[in-house]
Amino acid sequence: MKTQEGMIQVDGYQVWYRRIGEGGIPLLTLHGGPGAGHDYLESLEALSAIRPIIFFDQLGCGKSDQPNDRSLWKIQRFVKEVDVVRQVLELDQIHLLGQSWGGWLGIEYMLSNPKGILSLTLASTSASMPQFIAETKRLKSELPSEVYQTMLKYEAAEDYHHPDYEAAVMEFYKRHVCRLEAWPDCLLRTVQNFEGNAVYETINGPNEFTVIGNLKDWNRIDRLHEITVPTLITVGRYDELTPACAETMRQGITGSQMHIFEHSSHSSHLEEPERYMAVLADFLARVESGMLH
């Protein structure tokens, strides 16, 4: 399998990318986090037999430069970064996939009216941070009482790194981030990328449901109708970015289709990989055959 790896200069810094596969229309992936790095998306390489798959670590995480400048960590800077990556790699025509934060970035990017996007896949994401925050608040309240009370106690004290709090958070993650008994290596590498990650803390906050960063009021529900390319929305039944978030996007994007993975949470491409790849491959093929407009 043909693989190309290297660095792209963005804002004077180095951004790492990898392109695997050849032939066909490329799939450009936008990873989550912010700050997660591409690692946990590696299972998408299964699609590289028929098209190039492009991963890149957004500035501030993974194998890319990690400048100590919090003023950089704004969604509009990341939108421009997608454009630079496309220009340098000559990605004139692409399918775009954004997972989690990558989906928010994908929505924001589409609202900048980019050229050459054949389709959009929004994986385990939402069009509104306030909706996401409300949904995680509900999911937390459904945890076992002692776990929930522990979370409330330490959140009230803003003690997000106490071992008891982190243990309670992990209970949430096991239910709503990845339900696999043993988390795969690629996901564990992503978890390591989050350690003290300034991008995550600046844009999001200390964890998945304490959203106090600069994106906390982001909401694009009323602009979803501006997205006119064929759109696939994927979500896990137990996803922290819930089916309700996915349904909001489905209603807002004309002609979009939604697939719920019944045995998954936030990582359905890892929790149900064969089913996920089949659904995604079928969608991309139908777009290219002209069946979806």
Q: Name the amino acid, one letter, at 11.
A: D
Question: Is residue 34 reached through a cis peptide bond, with omega within 30 degrees of 0 on the bond before it?
Answer: yes
- H or E element: which one contains 170? helix 163-176
- Can you tell me the distance from the alpha carbon of 69 to that of 63, in angstroms, rounded to the nearest whole number? 17
CA–CA distances in Å: residue 111 to residues 30, 242, 275: 16, 23, 30
- Please say if 124 is a catalytic residue: no
Start-to-end C-alpha separation, the chain: 31
Q: Catalytic: which of 48, 64, 100, 267?
A: 100
- Can you tell me the distance from the alpha carbon of 18 to that of 97, in angstroms, rounded to the nearest whole number? 15
- Please say if 100 is a catalytic residue: yes
- Can you tell me the distance from the alpha carbon of 280 to that of 288, in angstroms, rounded to the nearest whole number? 12
Closest CA to 95 of 122, 59, 126, 125: 122
Give yes or no for a contact between 213 and 121, defined as CB atoms under 8 angstroms apart. Answer: no
Q: Catalytic: which of 95, 128, 239, 268?
A: 239
Q: Name the amino acid, one letter, at 263.
A: H
- Can you tell me the distance from the alpha carbon of 92 to that of 74, in angstroms, rounded to the nearest whole number? 25
- Can you tell me the distance from the alpha carbon of 184 to that of 206, in angstroms, rounded to the nearest whole number? 23
Give yes or no for a contact between 110 and 41, defined as CB atoms under 8 angstroms apart. Answer: no
- Please say if 185 is a catalytic residue: no
- Tokens for 202, please give them: 């600046």
Q: Catalytic: which of 266, 267, 268, 269?
A: 266
Active site positions, annotated = 100, 239, 266
